[in-house]
Structure 1
Amino acid sequence: MLEFLTLHPNAFGLDISDMSLKFVYLKKSARGVHVASFGEFPIPEGFIAQGEIKKEEELAALIKKSLRTPQGEKISTKHVVASLPEEQAFLQVIQLPKMGVKELQGAASFEAENYIPYPLETVYVDSEFVEPVKDHLDHADVLLASLPKTIVDSYVKVFEKAGLLVQALEIESLAVARALVPQGVSLAPLLLVDFGATRTSVLVFVGHSMRFTASIPVASHQFTAAISKALGVNFAKAEELKKAYGLKQRGKSEGGKVFESLVPSLVDLVEQVKKYMEYYASHATHQHLLKEERTIQKVLLTGGGANLPGLLEFLESELNTKASIGDAWVNIASKPFGKLPSLPFEESLRYATALGLALRGLDSTHD
């Protein structure tokens, strides 16, 4: 059958982490793209641990239940683009001699065993040509990605049990970058910091691709736990205080005590982020012409934890780098469309991964 006669159903995006699942269904119209439906449901403790599914049947049932009650219209497709856990993934940009894209894919598969720290028979490997920022390279950059087969197969099994048709699977950081990087291009190195519930992901994006990613075990729940311990309140009250005060107050007031309780964890986070920024700068000489292009030029914050009051200013000062809150609508809401998304901007930060996956679900209609 000719390609243009083949149907490519629209797919929704499904982001699954240890503690919650989020989904977004995007639709196109003559005036642009809009959010048709979305939702978020907590995942009970013990269902998933560090990205590894422990209770397949229960998770599949939870997915089915959550998709029956979306905010917005009913999801009219079973096709899904879903996330795979960042902490289980290995990603690296490698250099190969210049050649055609098909030849590069073959060469990357051949070279994979020299880079991936696991036996190749135990992992799935994918590769993608990285388009250069400038036409100055004497080699080709290729992004290698791999995950354990046991992890991927487990997620596929759960989605099938939930009655879904898997159109694509993608590592979380790739989806986040698709949502937040304007038009998918950044001429200067950009650091994305994704504050999740149990971990914070950092990734460097430059040109047309992600270059580096890492996971830091300091995140929103640790912040809340620190407040709970320092002020002697329960977790729910600590969460309330965190959202109310954040890093905005000093001194002996309640807000000042919240600030003091958060500082140790945040200092730990900052030191680890700095190390990754320095690592990138020292390993980027092969892909940039100018020294200033090897350092991070801007930091974008995303994830639910990015809403912590005062966090943006704190990180900008500590990292000595311009920072801003990411705009999860930058590649979705077109100005001519004029319709505000049904998902509030503050909440959209938590949905960045799901939005990026949903964007791929839209793009797949044109593959």
Structure 2
Amino acid sequence: MVFGFGMPSVLGIDIGTTSIKIVELQQEKGRIKLKNYGEYIPPSSKRELLPVESGFVSFFEEGIATIIKEIIREAKIKTKDLVLSLPVFSSFFTLIELPLMEPKEIPAAIRFQAYQYIPVPIEEVVLNWVIIEEREALLENKIQVLLVAVPKDIIEKYIKIAKILGCNLKSLEIESFAEARALAREGGPILIVNIGGRTTNITIVDNDFVRLCHNLDVSSFDLTNALSKRMNISFERAEEIRKTKGLLKETDTLVTPILVPVIDKIIFGVEEGINAYLSKNPQKKIQKIILSGGVANMPGLTDYFTSRLAIKVERANPFSEILYPPVLHETLEAIGPSFSVAVGLALREFLEKK
């Protein structure tokens, strides 16, 4: 879902709740090539600079712009055009059905329906929508529309960041839509589980359209925090144990029993999302699950998801169809799950041209 501000860009910037990631792509002889990438993970003393989920987005635009400038400087990035991500928790999503009508009548009908579904005054949000051409719906003389709304004050914050940077903001895009572009490039339905630093996003994509977007209040922070409290160790030590031992059977027998209840909360949310989607699309079947976010690399996580859900599960690899020097292969495979949104943002303009 894109809120457009002009022609395509090659710089994707993912402003997350615990880090900022940048990917620069360029097109060369019909192929998309990785030109540069960078990441900033702030110390705990500066975490307040990043967006915080508390029913709204709260951050210091000047602080974030300063961080991005530093990443751009260190990576020697020259591109001025950019696409920024909007967090899922700042947005409102709903899938609505309209009777079959003339294209020119659709905008007014959508705005009328929006009053029933958007929990804030329509005057305070920017509306966008995608018409999903489902054969079954068309046979019933209906139109399926994915409606998205983002508060205007939030959009203004991101526009301000671009102005401070002195960059040309081409578009803003909700992170789940960018991630879907980077990861779900085939048929579907495909379910993406992005376990982030503060929240988990669940997205179902089918034939290039986002069909469901759900946000869970469970994250990598909860996994590490559970280890820290139960094992009476520092948060930093708990983070190291989570990353290195995870759910491997041969590791410390104390770790898995602590992590599993938190992971099961995520799996329960995934099951709820699947059931909600299949209840409206009984003829469909989730083809696979893609795990993204830094937690996707946790040992044993992919196998645990597979055993619990009986669906093919794989780690995200947003760089799989992008050209890059072979020497970067191992590094990009490792960081790939964390860079899915940034890659999708940078890809947006190239793929929109096709």
TM over 0.5: yes
- Name the one with the larger helix percent: 2
* 1:101–1:300 distance in 2 versus 1, CA, 3 Å: farther
Question: Which amino acid letter does the alignment assign opposite residue 16 of structure 1?
Answer: I
After TM superposition, the structure 1 stretch with the greater mean CA deviation from structure 2, 8-17 or 30-39, is 8-17
1:358 Cα deviation after fit: 0.3
Total equivalences in the alignment = 341
* 1:213–1:87 distance in 2 versus 1, CA, 3 Å: same
Q: CA RMSD in A?
A: 2.4
- Asked if the contact 1:246/1:255 (under 8 Å) is kept, the reply is no
Please say if 1:274 is aligned against 2:271: yes
User: C-alpha offsets along residues 221-270 of structure 1, whole Å, 9 cap, x if unaligned?
Assistant: 211121222222222222221122110126xxx52211122122112222
1:276 Cα deviation after fit: 2.1
- Aligned partners of 2:131 and 2:115: how far apart in 1? 18
- Asked if the contact 1:34/1:341 (under 8 Å) is kept, the reply is no
Please say if 1:77 is aligned against 2:66: no
Q: Percent identity?
A: 31
1:190 Cα deviation after fit: 1.9
Question: Which amino acid letter does the alignment assign opposite residue 169 of structure 2?
Answer: V
- Aligned partners of 1:64 and 1:29: how far apart in 2? 26
Which of 320, 329, 338 is matched with 2:319 structurally?
A: 329
Q: Which residue of 2 aligns with 1:360?
A: 348
User: C-alpha offsets along residues 1-54 of structure 1, whole Å, 9 cap, x if unaligned?
Assistant: xxxxxx946331010012111010001111621110011102422123216133
* 1:208–1:10 distance in 2 versus 1, CA, 3 Å: closer
- Asked if the contact 1:98/1:140 (under 8 Å) is kept, the reply is yes
1:22-171 equivalences in 2 (<5 Å): 22-30=21-29, 32-43=31-42, 44-47=46-49, 48-50=51-53, 52-70=57-75, 74-132=76-134, 136=139, 138-171=141-174
1:292 Cα deviation after fit: 4.1
Please say if 1:10 is aligned against 2:38: no
- Aligned partners of 2:256 and 2:244: how far apart in 1? 11
User: C-alpha offsets along residues 171-202 of structure 1, whole Å, 9 cap, x if unaligned?
Assistant: 110001000012xx42x422110111111110
Give the unaligned 5+ runs of structure 2. Answer: 1-5
Which of 264, 274, 298 is matched with 1:308 structurally?
A: 298
- Aligned partners of 2:16 and 2:8: how far apart in 1? 25
- Aligned partners of 2:170 and 2:98: how far apart in 1? 30
Instruction: Tell me the TM-score normalised to structure 1 length.
Output: 0.85
Q: Which residue of 1 aligns with 2:3?
A: none
| Helix, strand or coil at the partner of 1:157 | helix
* 1:126–1:221 distance in 2 versus 1, CA, 3 Å: same
Which of 308, 313, 317 is matched with 2:307 structurally?
A: 317
| Helix, strand or coil at the partner of 1:147 | strand
Give the unaligned 5+ runs of structure 1. Answer: 1-6, 286-290
1:146 Cα deviation after fit: 0.4
After TM superposition, the structure 1 stretch with the greater mean CA deviation from structure 2, 79-88 or 255-264, is 255-264
1:209 Cα deviation after fit: 0.7
User: C-alpha offsets along residues 93-119 of structure 1, whole Å, 9 cap, x if unaligned?
Assistant: 211233454543343233322222211
1:56 Cα deviation after fit: 2.1
User: C-alpha offsets along residues 266-314 of structure 1, whole Å, 9 cap, x if unaligned?
Assistant: 12222222222222222x14xxxxx341x43321111111111111111
Q: Which residue of 1 aligns with 2:190?
A: 190
- Asked if the contact 2:85/2:172 (under 8 Å) is kept, the reply is yes
- Asked if the contact 1:131/1:209 (under 8 Å) is kept, the reply is no
Q: Which residue of 2 aligns with 1:297?
A: 287
After TM superposition, the structure 1 stretch with the greater mean CA deviation from structure 2, 142-151 or 172-181, is 142-151
Instruction: Tell me the TM-score normalised to structure 2 length.
Output: 0.88
- Aligned partners of 1:133 and 1:223: how far apart in 2? 42
1:326 Cα deviation after fit: 2.6
| Helix, strand or coil at the partner of 2:47 | coil
- Aligned partners of 2:144 and 2:77: how far apart in 1? 38
